[in-house]
Structure 1
Amino acid sequence: MRTQLERHGFHLPLILLVTLSLARADARAEATVDRPNIVYILADDLGYGDVHCLNPDSKIATPNLDRLAEQGMTFTDAHSGSSVCTPTRYGILTGRYAWRSRLKKGVLGGYSPPLIEPGRLTVAALLQQQGYQTACVGKWHLGFDWGTSRPLTFSDEIDAKEKMAAVDYTQPIAHGPTSVGFDMYYGISASLDMPPYLYLHDDRSVGVPTTEKTYIRKGPAHADFEAVGVLPTLTAKAVEFIDRCGKQEKVKARPFFLYFPLAAPHTPIVPDDEFRGRSKIGTYGDFVMQVDATVGRVLDALDRNAMTGTTLVIFTSDNGCSPSADFPALAKQGHHPSGPLRGHKADIFEGGHRIPFLARWPGKVPAGSTCHDTICLTDLLATSAAIVGASLPADAGEDSVNILPDLVGSAQTPVREATVHHSIDGSFAIRQGPWKLALCPDSGGWSEPRPGRPEAKGLPPVQLFNLERDLGERRNLQADHPEVVDRLTKLLERYVAEGRSTPGLAQENAGSVRIHGAEKR
Structure 2
Amino acid sequence: MTNTTLRWDAPMALAALALFAAFSFSARDVRGAEAAKPNIVWILADDWGYGDVQCLNPNRGKIATPAMDRLAAQGMTFTDAHTTSSVCTPTRYGILTGRYNWRTHLQKSVLYGFSEPLIAEDRMTVAGLLKQNGYATGAIGKWHLGLDLPFTTDERPKGNNPDNIDWKGRVGGGPVDRGFDYFYGISASLDMPPYIYIENDRFVGEATATKAFQRKGPAEPDFEAIDVLPMIGKKAVEFISKQDSSKPFFAYVAFTSPHTPILPSKEWQGKSELGKYGDFVMQTDAVIGDIVAEIDRAGFGDNTLVIVTSDNGCSKAAGIEAMQAKGHFPSANLRGSKADLWDGGHRVPFIARWPGVVQPGSKSDQTVCQVDLMATCADILGIAMPPGAGEDSVSFRAALSDKPIASTRKGLIHHSIEGNFAYRQGKWKLLLARGSGGWTAPREKQVPAGSPDGQLYDMSADPGETNNLFDSKPEIVAMLLADLTADVERGRSTDGPDATNDAPIVVWKGKQ
Query: Normalization by structure 2: what TM-score?
Result: 0.91
1:432 aligned to 2:450?
A: no
Deviation at 1:34, TM superposition (A): 4.0
SS at match of 1:237: helix
SS at match of 1:355: coil
What aligned pairs does 1:360-509 form with structure 2 within 5 A after superposition? 360-411=353-404, 416-453=409-446, 455-509=447-501
1:179 aligned to 2:181?
A: no
Match of 1:510 among 492, 502, 506: 502
Match of 1:145 in 2: 148
Residues 138-179 of structure 1 show CA distances to partners (whole Å, capped at 9, x for unaligned) of: 100000000001123445xx251xx1x111111001111000
Residues 404-423 of structure 1 show CA distances to partners (whole Å, capped at 9, x for unaligned) of: 00111122767853100000
Distance 1:34 1:134 in 2: 17
What aligned pairs does 1:286-301 form with structure 2 within 5 A after superposition? 286-301=279-294
* Higher-Rg member (1/2): 2
Match of 2:120 among 117, 120, 134: 117
Distance 1:65 1:331 in 2: 21
Tell me if the contact between 2:393 and 2:494 (Cα under 8 Å) persists in the aligned partners.
yes
Give the 3 Å change call, closer, same or farther, for CA 518–308 of structure 1 in structure 2.
Answer: farther
1:267 aligned to 2:260?
A: yes
Give the 3 Å change call, closer, same or farther, for CA 132–200 of structure 1 in structure 2.
Answer: same
What aligned pairs does 1:327-366 form with structure 2 within 5 A after superposition? 327-366=320-359
Tell me if the contact between 2:263 and 2:276 (Cα under 8 Å) persists in the aligned partners.
yes
Amino acid paired to 2:171: I
Deviates more, 1:203-212 or 1:146-155: 146-155
Give the 3 Å change call, closer, same or farther, for CA 140–456 of structure 1 in structure 2.
Answer: farther
Tell me if the contact between 2:160 and 2:193 (Cα under 8 Å) persists in the aligned partners.
no
Tell me if the contact between 1:75 and 1:371 (Cα under 8 Å) persists in the aligned partners.
yes
Distance 2:473 2:74 in 1: 42
Distance 1:146 1:412 in 2: 41
Tell me if the contact between 1:33 and 1:363 (Cα under 8 Å) persists in the aligned partners.
no
Match of 1:218 among 216, 219, 223: 216
Residues 196-229 of structure 1 show CA distances to partners (whole Å, capped at 9, x for unaligned) of: 0010000011010111111111111011000100
Amino acid paired to 2:37: R
Amino acid paired to 1:388: L
Amino acid paired to 1:371: S
Amino acid paired to 2:100: Y
Deviation at 1:456, TM superposition (A): 4.7
Deviation at 1:275, TM superposition (A): 0.7
Report percent identity of matched pairs: 51
SS at match of 1:328: helix
Tell me if the contact between 1:450 and 1:456 (Cα under 8 Å) persists in the aligned partners.
no
- 4+ aligned runs moved over 3 Å, structure 1: 30-34, 412-416, 455-458
Tell me if the contact between 1:43 and 1:265 (Cα under 8 Å) persists in the aligned partners.
yes
What aligned pairs does 1:19-418 form with structure 2 within 5 A after superposition? 34-57=36-59, 58-155=61-158, 158=159, 160=161, 163=162, 165-245=163-243, 248=244, 253-411=246-404, 416-418=409-411
Residues 98-141 of structure 1 show CA distances to partners (whole Å, capped at 9, x for unaligned) of: 00011010000000000001210000000000000000001000
Distance 1:205 1:270 in 2: 24
Deviation at 1:390, TM superposition (A): 1.7
Tell me if the contact between 2:141 and 2:255 (Cα under 8 Å) persists in the aligned partners.
yes
Distance 1:210 1:412 in 2: 52
Match of 1:25 in 2: none
Give the 3 Å change call, closer, same or farther, for CA 159–183 of structure 1 in structure 2.
Answer: closer
Task: Flag structure 2 segments of 5+ consecutive residues without an equivalent.
Answer: 1-31
Amino acid paired to 1:233: M
Tell me if the contact between 2:408 and 2:495 (Cα under 8 Å) persists in the aligned partners.
no
Residues 16-49 of structure 1 show CA distances to partners (whole Å, capped at 9, x for unaligned) of: xxxxxxxxxxxxxx99764100000000000000
